Structure 1
């Protein structure tokens, strides 16, 4: 929840070849070689087939340059020689191949991918955002109605202010190449990102540069906000560090990536946060926020000092992959033990999973705007899941709200005694990016053993 900050949070200290940027043409200086990874597709009996895949880094991290090798974007400003308008920028600038381990701190090993927080190479890279691919040119599409999605995660090195996020978004499988012919780089180069915050920090959207109206960030030397944003539905399977976690559906009124203009994008960069076609808040289930402060964390019931399995189940009204989404359930497996999601202990708010009734009551009890219902609730989220979504794996820190919406008390101006404000045990002064980056440079997250299949098929119920 409150992932509006997402569009400010992926950044690299830009030296010559580590510009954070998004472009549309493919460069010719560095080959693009995707790190391999495997995942598993399971059937109702629990038999799982291994699928070979790849991961690609989001284009917003890459070096973008002219045909002569001159930067099209440096620091947090555009080069006016090449990017005076959106169309010209996409014609003049090329997106270069990535050096995954040395520049971005991304490595894979069989079914596992490790994302390092700080990587010092030619420049200083901070965090990353990856997409799972089915082949060299297309994202893997997941269809999860009536299914479950499970993965193992190691968050033991993620302290307050960090977020290892694994989630789904309604991106085009080819990165937008078919719908936007100006985009000739496509999914191979990580193009086409969108989410329910309608992020405006993306350098290119729908095949054109986002340089018109671009305003450099005042507190970040590498990012800015453009005149356009990129909207689509978002299912946050996992936003977490070792102190707190949440899963959150964010439905939209549309079923594919859509460009928005200025304040109509909503979110924190706009005059009205709720002006967009998407639900920026979502309906979250965070065990700590729901009143259980002894469930998740180091040494607790779900012990974040060691690896555990996260299982998310998408229940439909008739149990089929074509039914209407009626509930999203969560359980954990650690050391052979299945751990059910904790139940809410907030007065007037019962339940241990996400349903429309739970979400309506949560908004009422917490005094939050119910944009979840406004944008279709679980049925709206179910439509996106039915149409197919792309898997995102990321690690980031928060220049907008210091990650307090996940692991501290938020809003910071509200009393901690108000229901819904306490979201984790981290202090009000934690999560400041400059402190996080200096204090936890060796932080990392590891995602592994991704499995998809019918409900009950991806994990063992006993040892």
Structure 2
């Protein structure tokens, strides 16, 4: 129920963002929401641990100017990411996920995502390892996989924000194809998503059985 031009997101933000004077900044949404893309007009650190639709899943880290518990005048909107569609899965099922039984994970049916936050000896976040599982099929990918940008360094920069405490947010959003082309552009089959598609208002996702086993490093 989350096709092209849509994004089902589970992510962490350093709410509330602060003003230059160090007080909580109220956004244009009439609350204290903030993120790395200035939605509502307030910027703050953001770690996207699950951005997905029926064809792709992505993990993205965004860094900001300033300390996580301070004023952030600007952030890296694009961030550094790793996507399932950059995987090279051997065998008959060559595509990681799609709304079909031809893929490793058929997103028309429920599936489970497990993530492990890897820290070094100093307790600094250096990697996020992901496993997507459905019945007897699964695939894995890591933030340490080859790709554009140094995601390890970006995750190191997120460690302070996570130590200070971040808010877990859930969303489903979308619009015209151009709005989510950063996600849909990684689909292997160009016929899956076309520039003319828009996210339908009927799009929905069910998050369930969410658990955090340990935050110790």
Structure 2 alignment gaps of length 5 or more: none
Is residue 209 of structure 2 the alignment partner of residue 445 of structure 1? no
Deviation (angstroms), 1:403 = 1.9
SS in 2 for 1:230: coil
Distance (Å, rounded) in 1 between the aligned partners of 2:147 and 2:33? 30
Following superposition of structure 1 onto structure 2, how do residues 204-243 of structure 1 map, counting pairs within 5 Å? 229-243=41-55
Q: TM-score, normalised by structure 2?
A: 0.78
Following superposition of structure 1 onto structure 2, how do residues 53-452 of structure 1 map, counting pairs within 5 Å? 157-172=1-16, 179-180=23-24, 191-199=31-39, 202=40, 229-253=41-65, 254-256=67-69, 258=71, 260=73, 276=74, 278-292=75-89, 294-298=95-99, 299=101, 300-318=103-121, 323-335=123-135, 337=136, 339-341=138-140, 352-355=141-144, 358=145, 362-363=147-148, 370=149, 377-399=154-176, 401-407=178-184, 409=185, 422-425=186-189, 426-432=192-198, 436-437=199-200, 441-452=201-212
After superposition, what is the alpha-carbon deviation per residue over 1:396-437, rounded to whole angstroms, capped at 9, x for unaligned?
Answer: 113471422212x3xxxxxxxxxxxx43533332433xxx43
Deviation (angstroms), 1:381 = 1.3
Q: TM-score, normalised by structure 1?
A: 0.39
SS in 2 for 1:159: coil
Deviation (angstroms), 1:388 = 1.1
SS in 1 for 2:95: coil
Distance (Å, rounded) in 2 between the aligned partners of 1:257 and 1:198? 16
Deviation (angstroms), 1:330 = 0.3
Decide which structure has the larger Cα Rg and report it.
Answer: 1
CA RMSD of aligned residues (A): 3.0
Q: 1:191 to 1:402 in 2, by over 3 A?
A: closer
Distance (Å, rounded) in 2 between the aligned partners of 1:385 and 1:424? 33
After superposition, what is the alpha-carbon deviation per residue over 1:203-231, rounded to whole angstroms, capped at 9, x for unaligned?
Answer: xxxxxxxxxxxxxxxxxxxxxxxxxx311
Structure 1 alignment gaps of length 5 or more: 1-156, 203-228, 261-275, 342-351, 364-369, 410-421, 456-463
After superposition, what is the alpha-carbon deviation per residue over 1:59-93, rounded to whole angstroms, capped at 9, x for unaligned?
Answer: xxxxxxxxxxxxxxxxxxxxxxxxxxxxxxxxxxx
Distance (Å, rounded) in 2 between the aligned partners of 1:400 and 1:230? 25
Distance (Å, rounded) in 2 between the aligned partners of 1:259 and 1:252? 6
